[in-house]
């Protein structure tokens, strides 16, 4: 997948948010369908150079891992720092693309993705989202408000909602 992802990303122009969201959606399709998870894809991009720093998808790494969490864990490993120090090694302007709004609460007890984003500090300037989190597992997701309160732009990338929800809810008995 790494070579395929690299080939895909070389053709994405800076600021082409829809193409980055399509890349995130292609990553989401690699997540195993389960009735207890949304299949989500995420991409971390350095805005200044338009370089993809990391990609991830739900359950890519061991444990009950979310897509954003996988991106950040892979970046932590790459830079040899703990997740709590990731902000020290990231470029000054980073964007996160995620097919589904980052979670604000984890039923598993893991750190919510919005808290992971906020812990990185002021490096992530914008979070681009394909759809807001459906109410199926946790109602009242407060991620958008938390991000905006921290000065992080929350931008909806329109056009793929139907496809994103179809992929996200694969494996669910009653899709959201």
- Cite the active site residues: 68
Note the residue count of the chain. Answer: 176
In three-state secondary structure terms, 24 is helix
Structure tokens at 120: 């990185």
- How deeply is 81 buried, as exposed, middle or buried, from its count of CB atoms within 10 A (0-12, 13-18, 19+)? middle
Structure tokens at 160: 């793929």
In the sheet with 51-57, reading across from the earlier edge strand, the strands are: 51-57, 41-46, 94-100, 124-131, 153-156
**Tokens 């902000």, residue?**
87
- How crowded is residue 176: how many other Cβ atoms within 10 Å of its Cβ? 13
**Tokens 């995420």, residue?**
42
Local structure of residue 59 (DSSP, 8 states): T
Structure tokens at 107: 């039923």
């Amino acid at each position: 997948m790494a070579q395929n992802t690299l080939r895909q990303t070389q053709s994405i122009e800076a600021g082409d948010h829809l193409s980055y969201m399509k890349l995130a959606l292609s990553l989401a399709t690699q997540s195993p369908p389960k009735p207890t998870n949304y299949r989500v894809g995420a991409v971390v991009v350095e805005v200044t150079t338009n370089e993809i720093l990391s990609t991830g998808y739900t359950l890519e790494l061991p444990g009950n891992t979310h897509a954003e969490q996988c991106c950040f864990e892979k970046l932590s490993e790459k830079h040899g720092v703990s997740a709590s120090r990731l902000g020290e090694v990231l470029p000054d302007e980073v964007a996160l693309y995620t097919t589904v709004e980052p979670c604000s609460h984890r039923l598993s007890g893991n750190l919510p993705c919005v808290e992971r984003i906020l812990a990185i500090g002021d490096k992530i300037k914008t979070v681009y989202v394909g759809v807001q989190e459906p109410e199926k597992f946790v109602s009242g997701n407060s991620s958008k408000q938390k991000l905006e309160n921290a000065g992080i732009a929350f931008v909806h990338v329109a056009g793929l909602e139907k496809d994103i929800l179809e992929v996200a809810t694969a494996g669910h008995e009653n899709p959201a």
